């Protein structure tokens, strides 16, 4: 093509202004009247860094095509962001303070305290209830640590779940401590300090929603909101002797909550009984019109009314088919006292009228390993670099994305988050491009296996965790990452698979078991009830029936 032809093409581009509009899809929208050219040296730097060589005769074309971005970029950067604006008059927040000692923090449960109550609630569903928010949930003017000093952030928005809670008449009394970057199963990694188990000081509350578990268990609040990507609601629920639900993926909006990885993000209720758990879910559930995790046609359910109606009989589970997931009892290192408690719980459900059958899903045995390999490539950029491209959601632009972790940021992370980042670098360097896609396909196969099993039973049962809480390290930094993380080997074997598939999973307390290092120390253990997607009523019904059969603390 000679220079005259090139100039003719450029003239036609400029005279039309809009290129490719009739096709509906275009990469060049406009070149403008007087297109700016990209500096040739900059173009050379960009292509050299990408190991590309351009046709020398096309260089001028590319400086025009890329230079056309400069004015739109400047215009976009000058625009006011389109985000959420909190109504500080309707939802005031006062008495914001950071606890200065164990008494003020309830042995580490609180990250930040404040008081917020709507001036004109819409309902009274949570009237009189006090609520704690996990410290990865945005609440304007209140710091959000995410359990780490790697990034500092004070949000300017309120997460929709927080607004819904206030609209239901509750009082939010603070942010509950969470573990470092929400990537830990023990409660001694948060930047706000260790969180101690109510039943044995010096033992773990579980993570990453450690403070939420502690504050509900101790009675500091009636209910709390946790987050769950591998078990982070159900682990502390089990270890703290409370009820915790990971809802169906997409049922509760995750808008304004720090993401670990979109396909496994869940926010869920934590309470001392199933009915309060159902009440909090009822308030939080439903589409917000922003979060792309959510179906747009979710029906509104009255979980409390459904639950009350289902428990009127002396045999409340008559006709209910329950499957015992056999592979869940063969987790390497599973505690025999937990297995014993589990079988006792199954017998109790049978006495309540349930029809019990054993269900084998061989894929369950390897599911947590696939989850572990799937998470780094997509989760590390999201959780640690705040990258969220390709998503229709509220982007938290005041918490700016990072190109990579600095040394200081890496050092500020706990061993779980450091492991996630190093595994991300390792997998990106060593595995073929299709590796993450294959993990995703295998997890879909697991999903289909659970769905098939749930065609013959209403719910599946597993122990929530394979072993009791670990002892906290008085000085965690003096222990290496292998020692710290080894305390919880196979911890998420029965929880993480249901994050990947999105099935609802409820943990209810089923009794006490001895600590691994001291038989004289008794700690809670949980029963996990897994249901069909968007059938939270089924897991609540089974959980409440078991709860009503007797005081779990006597088991």
* 371, 500 Cβ separation under 8 angstroms: yes
Examine the domain organization and report whether 67 and 207 are in the same domain.
no
* Strand order from edge to edge, sheet including 243-246: 93-97, 110-117, 171-176, 130-134, 223-227, 267-271, 243-246, 505-514, 522-531, 459-463, 321-325, 355-359
What is the DSSP secondary structure assignment for residue 184, as one 8-state letter?
-
28, 51, 78: which is the final residue of a domain? 78
Examine the domain organization and report whether 319 and 440 are in the same domain.
yes
Examine the domain organization and report whether 107 and 229 are in the same domain.
yes
What pLDDT does 4 receive?
53
Any idea what the CATH number is for the domain that residue 279 is in? 3.90.1300.10
Examine the domain organization and report whether 454 and 537 are in the same domain.
yes
* 494, 528 Cβ separation under 8 angstroms: yes
Beta bridge partners of 357: 323
Name, in order, each residue with C-beta under 8 angstroms of 134's C-beta and a sequence gap of 6 or more.
Answer: 175, 176, 178, 209, 211, 212, 224, 225, 226, 227, 267
What pLDDT does 555 receive?
84
Would 15 be classed as within a structural domain? yes
Q: Residue with structure tokens 């006597």?
A: 554
Would 428 be classed as within a structural domain? no
C-alpha pair distances (Å), 180 with each of 150, 170, 215, 216, 299? 9, 28, 18, 20, 35
What pLDDT does 310 receive?
87
Find, among 488, 491, 500, the residue nearest to 530 by Cα: 500
Examine the domain organization and report whether 441 and 527 are in the same domain.
yes
What pLDDT does 345 receive?
98
Examine the domain organization and report whether 132 and 206 are in the same domain.
yes
Examine the domain organization and report whether 189 and 326 are in the same domain.
yes
Q: Into how many domains does the chain fold? A: 2
Would 423 be classed as within a structural domain? no
CA atoms within 13 A on the CB side of 259: 30
C-alpha pair distances (Å), 488 with each of 144, 207, 466, 471, 491? 26, 11, 9, 11, 5
Domain that holds residue 74: 3-78
CA distance 482 to 81: 43
* 414, 179 Cβ separation under 8 angstroms: yes
* CA of residue 114 relative to chain centroid, distance: 23
Number of helices followed by number of strands (H, E) in the chain: 18, 14
78, 105, 131: which is the final residue of a domain? 78
Examine the domain organization and report whether 163 and 50 are in the same domain.
no
- 486's tokens: 């080894």
Examine the domain organization and report whether 133 and 71 are in the same domain.
no
Would 84 be classed as within a structural domain? no
Would 414 be classed as within a structural domain? no
3-state SS, one letter per residue, for 117-168: ECCCCCCCCCCCCEEEEECCECCCCCCCCCCCCCCCCCCCCCCHHHHHHHHC
Q: Is the dihedral of CA 530, 363, 434, 402 positive or negative?
A: positive
Would 28 be classed as within a structural domain? yes
What pLDDT does 28 receive?
64
- 391's tokens: 């998503």
What pLDDT does 7 receive?
55
Angle between the 336-351 and 536-547 helix axes, to the nearest 10 degrees?
Answer: 100
What is the DSSP secondary structure assignment for residue 46, as one 8-state letter?
H
* 337, 470 Cβ separation under 8 angstroms: no
Examine the domain organization and report whether 149 and 209 are in the same domain.
yes
Burial 88-123 (b: 16+ CB within 10 A, else e): eeebebeebeebeeeeebbbbbbbbbbebbbeebee
Per-residue pLDDT of the chain (555 residues; tens, 9 = 90+): 455 555 555 555 444 444 444 444 446 667 767 778 999 999 999 999 999 999 999 999 999 999 999 989 999 999 999 999 999 999 999 999 999 999 999 999 999 999 999 999 999 999 999 999 999 999 999 999 999 999 999 999 999 999 999 999 999 999 999 999 999 999 999 999 999 999 999 999 999 999 999 999 999 999 999 999 999 999 999 999 999 999 999 999 999 999 999 999 999 999 999 999 999 999 999 999 999 999 988 888 899 999 999 888 889 999 999 999 999 999 999 999 999 999 999 999 999 999 999 999 999 999 999 999 999 999 999 999 999 888 999 999 999 888 999 999 999 999 999 999 999 999 999 999 999 999 999 999 999 999 999 999 999 999 999 999 999 999 999 999 999 999 999 999 999 999 999 999 999 999 999 999 999 999 999 999 999 999 999 999 999 999 999 999 998
Would 500 be classed as within a structural domain? yes
285, burial (CB in 10 Å: exposed 0-12, middle 13-18, buried 19+): buried
CA distance 531 to 245: 11
Positions marked catalytic: 134, 208, 232
What pLDDT does 485 receive?
97
Residue 471: count of CB within 10 angstroms of its CB = 18
Find, among 120, 384, 388, the residue nearest to 255 by Cα: 388
Examine the domain organization and report whether 451 and 306 are in the same domain.
yes
CA distance 167 to 282: 12
78, 109, 139: which is the final residue of a domain? 78
Examine the domain organization and report whether 72 and 97 are in the same domain.
no
* 207, 235 Cβ separation under 8 angstroms: yes
Would 528 be classed as within a structural domain? yes
Element holding 472 (H helix, E strand): none
């Amino acid at each position: 093509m000679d220079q005259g032809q090139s100039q003719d093409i450029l003239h036609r581009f400029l005279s039309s202004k809009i290129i490719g509009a009739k096709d509906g899809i275009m990469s060049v929208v406009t070149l403008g009247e007087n297109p700016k050219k990209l500096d040739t040296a900059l173009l050379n730097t960009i292509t050299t860094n990408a190991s590309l060589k351009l046709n020398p005769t096309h260089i001028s074309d590319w400086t025009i095509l890329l230079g056309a971005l400069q004015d739109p970029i400047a215009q976009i950067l000058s625009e006011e962001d389109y985000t959420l604006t909190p109504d500080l008059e309707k939802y005031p927040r006062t008495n914001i303070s950071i606890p200065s000692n164990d008494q003020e923090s309830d042995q580490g449960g609180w990250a930040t305290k404040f008081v917020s109550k709507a001036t004109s609630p819409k309902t009274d569903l949570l009237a009189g209830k006090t609520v704690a928010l996990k410290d990865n949930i945005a609440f304007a003017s209140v710091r959000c640590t995410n359990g780490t000093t790697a990034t500092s952030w004070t949000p300017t928005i309120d997460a929709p779940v927080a607004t819904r809670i206030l609209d239901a008449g509750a009082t939010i009394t603070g942010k509950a401590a969470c573990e470092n970057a929400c990537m830990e199963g023990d409660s001694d990694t948060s930047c706000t300090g260790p969180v101690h188990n109510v039943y044995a000081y010096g033992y773990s509350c579980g993570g990453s929603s450690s403070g939420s578990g502690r504050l509900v268990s101790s009675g500091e609040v009636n209910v709390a909101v946790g987050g769950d990507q591998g078990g982070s609601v159900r682990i502390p629920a089990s270890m703290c002797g409370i009820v915790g639900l990971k809802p169906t993926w997409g049922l509760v909006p995750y808008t304004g909550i720090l993401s670990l990885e979109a396909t496994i993000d869940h926010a869920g209720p934590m309470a001392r009984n199933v009915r309060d758990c159902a009440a909090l879910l009822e308030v939080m559930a439903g589409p917000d019109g922003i979060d792309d995790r959510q179906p747009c046609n979710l029906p509104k359910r009255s979980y409390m009314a459904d639950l009350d109606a289902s428990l009127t009989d002396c045999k409340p589970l008559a006709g209910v088919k329950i499957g015992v997931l056999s592979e869940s009892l063969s987790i390497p290192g599973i505690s025999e006292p937990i297995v014993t408690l589990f079988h006792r719980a199954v017998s109790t459900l049978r006495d309540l009228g349930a029809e019990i059958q054993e269900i084998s899903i061989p894929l369950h045995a390897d599911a947590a390993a696939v989850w572990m390999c799937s998470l780094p490539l997509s989760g590390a950029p999201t959780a640690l670099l705040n990258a969220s491209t390709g998503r229709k959601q509220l982007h938290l632009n005041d918490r700016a994305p990072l190109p990579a972790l600095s040394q200081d940021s890496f050092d500020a992370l706990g061993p779980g988050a450091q492991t996630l980042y190093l595994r991300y670098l390792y997998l990106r360097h060593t595995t073929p491009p299709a590796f993450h896609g294959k993990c995703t396909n295998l997890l879909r196969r697991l999903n289909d296996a659970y769905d098939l099993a749930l065609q013959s039973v209403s719910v599946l049962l597993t122990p929530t965790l394979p072993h009791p809480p670990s002892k906290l390290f008085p000085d965690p930094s003096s222990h290496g990452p292998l020692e710290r993380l080894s305390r919880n080997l196979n911890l998420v074997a029965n929880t993480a698979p249901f994050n990947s598939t999105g099935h609802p999973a409820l943990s209810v307390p089923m009794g006490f078991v001895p600590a691994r290092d001291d038989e004289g120390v008794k700690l809670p253990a949980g029963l996990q009830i897994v249901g069909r997607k968007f059938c939270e009523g089924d897991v609540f019904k089974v959980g409440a029936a078991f709860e009503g059969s007797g005081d779990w603390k006597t088991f």
